[in-house]
Amino acid sequence: MTIDLIPFMRPGQPKYLAIGNALTEAINTGALLPGSKLPTHRELADTLGVSVQTVSNAYAHAEKQGAIYAQVGSGTFVRSRHISHESDYLSTDEHDDPSRGIDLSTAHPVCTPRHVKLYRESLERLAREGRDDFITSFHPTQGLTQHREVVCGWMAQQKLPVNPDNMLFCNGAAHALTIAMATLLKPGDTVLCEHETGMLLMALAQTLHFKLKGLATDEQGLLPDALEAACKQGGARVLFCTPTMNNPTTDTMGLERRQAIAELARKYDLTVVEDDVYGALQPDRHPPLSAFIPERSFYATSLTKISLPGMRAGYLVTPPNMVQQAIGRLRSTTWMATLVPFEIASWWMQDGTLDRMISFQQQEFAVRQAMAREHLTACQFKADPNGMHIWAELPGHWSPEKFARRARQEGVMIFPAEPFLAAVDRTNQHIRISLGAEQSRSRIETGLTTLNGLVLETPPPMHFVF
């Protein structure tokens, strides 16, 4: 592209500094839009009548200031504008519809107009760059090499070293986990898991016709003694678990617990399927379980729970000796994942946008969890300080199913325990409350206050609850 920096250049500075500062000023004033591709070093040097080295130094200066970034093999681009204030993301509740029910049931990151704007800017950039090949051509089933290399850099920040050759791109984490389970299992096989586990695993068990064996947990998740006892009984060779912010219990394994589970996997020749969609929400997180046993672990994550629900960029890391088997399952279910989310994800990972989104989610969920501690006082509950879920225990006079129906009558949607249980357990008195689907904090507060009041109620006769 051609850009005119002359109006932004100031005299009395070294040439490289004047050019670098001019770039920054042009970006700050909106003359250069986020995502815009800048001229090559040679092109800008010819335009300004300076040496290529001067432009290289200018670009390096602007990059240090956070104004631009270089993408190997693609060029240099304007960064998305830095987001430093909560108000840039959050909006007011002025146009909220009070008649709409309050959704405390959906596992959902907090989304605001600012998120939508960032996504639209990325789509506009994609249109400007004319990546028609994304929709006019087939691409490698595994995903583009340059995208996988960028993701591996981001996963290293998540404390998981990854070889790009062992990574597959999927249409969300649910798709990634489906590929992993289809690669490992045949009908009738038994899978070990936490006693309270995600709904997706239940659906996969029905779809792929495998059995679940739920194991005992504590506040750090899966108990090593329970896992070892199940392994000694035999009949299972796959463990499915969510070591960080397990859905629904919010349990997170400490470092020693992860090491203990990894050692048992080696001892009993288990293959682990790790669901880590919430891991990035935890500040100063522990390494994923898969980091300890990469030779026997399928690791799945995505951007869906940490940025936008529609960002169906799912990542599956396989054991080195099972890559080709997994690629075969991926090809049979989708041929190749849709490329657009992965191109956008690659930009966001490189220019800092994804890190800022994650930071926002961490901070916002911390605020909402504090609200829960203030307003949900009539029952005991577990929650991660930066997590999106609450696992609340109801008093004995309520059943979770009846309470969920009563809450719906009052316009608040939640989930009872039953859909999360690997085996029937009539004694389980829990409900899951999720804090992300509502953009408005005031609606979260109203929903929590309503639930708190209902806990203190005497359940109505059954014919009034429908």
CATH number, domain containing residue 191: 3.40.640.10
CA-CA-CA-CA torsion sign (224, 431, 285, 146) = positive
Same domain? For 246 and 365 the reply is: no
Closest CA to 13 of 28, 24, 2: 24
Q: Is the alpha carbon torsion for 58, 63, 67, 70 positive or negative?
A: positive
Same domain as 157, residue 219: yes
Three-state SS at 278: coil
CA torsion, points 208, 211, 214, 220, in degrees to nearest 10?
A: -30
Q: Examine residue 282 and state whether it is found in any structural domain, yes or no.
A: yes
Q: What is each CA distance from 137 to 141, 169, 338, in whole angstroms?
A: 12, 17, 11
Domain shared by 251 and 358, yes or no: no
Is 448 found in the same domain as 436?
Answer: yes
pLDDT for the residue 463: 56
Q: Please state the three-class secondary structure of 18-49 as a single string.
A: HHHHHHHHHHHCCCCCCCCECCCHHHHHHHHC
Measured CA angle at 393 (ends 388, 398), to 5 deg? 125
pLDDT of the chain along its 466 residues, tens only?
A: 667 888 888 776 778 888 988 888 888 777 888 778 899 998 898 889 899 888 888 888 888 767 888 876 678 888 765 444 444 555 534 445 556 799 999 999 999 999 999 999 999 999 888 878 888 888 889 999 999 999 999 999 999 999 999 999 999 999 999 999 999 999 999 999 999 999 999 999 999 999 999 999 999 999 999 999 999 999 999 999 999 999 999 999 999 999 999 999 999 999 999 999 999 999 989 999 999 999 999 999 999 999 999 999 999 999 999 999 999 999 999 999 999 999 999 999 999 999 999 999 999 999 999 999 999 999 999 999 999 999 999 999 999 999 999 999 999 999 999 999 999 898 999 999 999 999 999 999 999 999 999 999 988 776 555 5
Q: How far is CA 421 from CA 242, 319, 432, in A?
A: 14, 29, 12
CA–CA separation, 305 and 69 (whole Å)? 26
What is the C-alpha separation between 170 and 141, in angstroms, rounded? 9
CATH code of the domain in which 22 resides: 1.10.10.10
Q: Is there a single domain that holds both residue 249 and residue 343?
A: yes
Predicted pLDDT at 263: 98
State residue 82's pLDDT score: 43
Residue 329 has, within 13 A of its CA and on its CB side, a CA count of: 21
Q: Where are the beta strands (DSSP E) in 264-406?
A: 271-275, 297-302, 313-317, 380-382, 389-393
Residues 61 and 111 in one domain: no
**Cα gap 311→420, rounded to integer Å:** 25
| Model pLDDT, residue 360 | 95
Please answer whether residues 93 and 440 qualify as being in contact, where contact means their C-beta atoms are separated by less than 8 angstroms. yes
Using DSSP bridges, classify how beta strands 236-241 and 271-275 pair: parallel, antiparallel or unpaired.
Answer: parallel
How many whole angstroms separate alpha carbon 201 and alpha carbon 181? 10
In a domain? residue 436? yes
Last residue of a domain, one of 351, 370, 390: 351
**Domain end point (choices 305, 320, 351):** 351
Residue 358 belongs to a domain with what CATH number?
3.90.1150.10
Task: Give the number of other Cβ atoms within 10 Å of residue 29's Cβ.
Answer: 10
Residue 115, both tokens: 């998120």
Q: Is 13 helix (H, G, I), strand (E, B) or coil?
A: coil
Same domain, 345 and 414: no
Residue 388 forms part of a structural domain: yes
DSSP conformational letter for 298? E
Task: Give the list of residues 6+ apart from residue 461 with CB closer than 8 angstroms, or none.
Answer: none
Evaluate whether 392 touches 118 at the Cβ level (below 8 Å).
no
Together in a domain, 294 and 361: no
Q: Same domain for 347 and 249?
A: yes
Residue 283 lies in a domain: yes
Q: How far apart are CA 145 and CA 104, in angstroms?
A: 39
Structural domain includes residue 124: no
How many Å from the N-terminal Cα to the C-terminal Cα in the chain?
A: 63
pLDDT of 69 reads 81
Domain boundary among 351, 380, 406: 351
Instruction: Indicate whether 370 and 308 sit together in one domain.
Output: no
The residue count of the chain comes to 466
Distances (CA, A) of 292 to 117, 158, 186, 256: 39, 14, 26, 11
> Quick one: pLDDT at residue 289?
98
Cα–chain center distance at 347: 16
- In a domain, residue 217? The reply is yes
Based on C-alpha coordinates, what's the Rg of the chain?
25
What's residue 84's pLDDT? 40
226 and 329, same domain (yes or no): yes
Q: What is the tally of structural domains in the chain?
A: 3
Are residues 385 and 370 located together in one domain of the fold? yes
- The helix/strand count (H/E) of the chain reads as 16, 17
Strands (E), 133-179: 167-171
Q: Is residue 95 part of a domain?
A: no
- Tell me which residue range forms the domain holding 154: 132-351
Q: Is residue 90 in a domain? A: no
